[in-house]
Each structure stands twice: as C-alpha cells, then as structure tokens.
Amino acid sequence: MKKIKRILIIGGPGSGKTSVLKAIEKNGFNVHHEISREVTAKAKQQGIAQLFLTDPFAFSNELLAGRILQFNKATEGIHFYDRGIPDIPAYHVFTGDDIPAEFIKASEEHQYDLVFFLPPWEEIYESDSERYESYEQAVVLGDILHSFYSKLGYTPIPIPKLDVENRLTFINDHL
C-alpha cells in the first residue's frame, strides 16, 4: 500500500506561504501551488477584472475543482499544498456570503494530515495586482482560517515569524 501524507500551509494573504513553499519545493518535495492567481488571470482574459469580487461563487467553484484535482494528484510520498479545500468556505465567512453545502462536504471528504499556519506578518506583507486585501483584512482572514480549520477538527501548527530557512527547519521538525 502506498503511503501519502498531505501537508497544508495556510494563512492570510502576505504571510509568507509562497516563499516557504518555493523553498520546500527546492528541497525536493512535491508542492501543489495556489491556484487562485490562475483562476483570476483566466477571468481577466475573459474581461472580468476581479472574479472573486464580481462573482464569488463562480470563483469558488473554479477553486474547488482545482483544489480537488490537486488533492487527488497525490499518489504517494509527502505532498505540500498552498491553501486547502477548507480555505474556500472560510473565505465566504470573511465575505459574509452563505456557504454552499458542497463546500463543507468537500472540506470534510478531503482530509489533510497536517496543517501549518503562517500568522499575519506586517513586515513582509505586500500588496499586488491580484491581492486586493489590506493588511488589516489579511489579519482578519488569518483569524478566520485558523478558526475554520479548528472547527473542522484540525490543530493548525503556528509557524514562527522567522526567515524562510528557519521556517523550513521548524516544519521539518514537526513532520
């Protein structure tokens, strides 16, 4: 029987997830990168400037399909994920929108083995053309994500605010 271990990296926008995951990938691990930028870029090609703001459910449905595909691509070994399926309903908590039952069902059916949480970190937060949230909103989102995953039965492990190399050491020490 092949052993699969799915490890999730969560946190609000600008908390350092991408930098940590690039370093993890450089160390030879399987990494499934965030797909929201791809979904946003695809929508822009269709003339929709910010799909999440224009049609949050269409955006979320695209994310859900992509994240389930990423989840199912893991066949053996250790796989790291930049955001997980439960991020989708958690973002709807942030926006105050109703959460479709299929988002909760997908979150419950696709279980990750370990969840690391990157807390908000103002010194490294940067805004860009696809990150519309302010730092203050990123803090709120981080809190919502941590809370939402906890309600699903996960125990998110907070990663200290350290340079990337020391964050990697921290992660390795908890595997």
The residue with tokens 């340079």 is: 163
The residue with tokens 């870029």 is: 41
d(CA 18, CA 134): 18
Residues in the chain: 175
Total tally of structural domains belonging to the chain: 1
Quote the DSSP letter at residue 22. Answer: H
Percent of the chain topping pLDDT 70: 93
Q: Which residue has the higher pLDDT, 3 or 124?
A: 3
| Average pLDDT taken over every residue of the chain | 90
Q: Are 117 and 145 in contact (CB under 8 A)?
A: yes
pLDDT at position 103 is 96
Name the phi and psi angles at 158, rounded to 5: -70, 130
Position 151 pLDDT exceeds 60: yes
Position 40 pLDDT exceeds 90: no
Distance of CA 160 to the CA centre of its chain: 17
Three-point CA angle 166, 132, 171, nearest 5°: 15
Quote the DSSP letter at residue 28. Answer: T
Q: Give the residue from 159, 120, 171, 121 showing the smallest Cα distance to 143.
A: 120
Q: What is the mean pLDDT of residues 138-166?
A: 96
**pLDDT per residue over 85-101, tens digit each?**
999 999 999 989 899 99
Q: Which domain holds residue 96?
A: 4-174
- Could you tell me the CATH number of the domain that includes residue 102? 3.40.50.300
**pLDDT per residue over 51-73, tens digit each?**
666 777 888 998 999 999 999 99
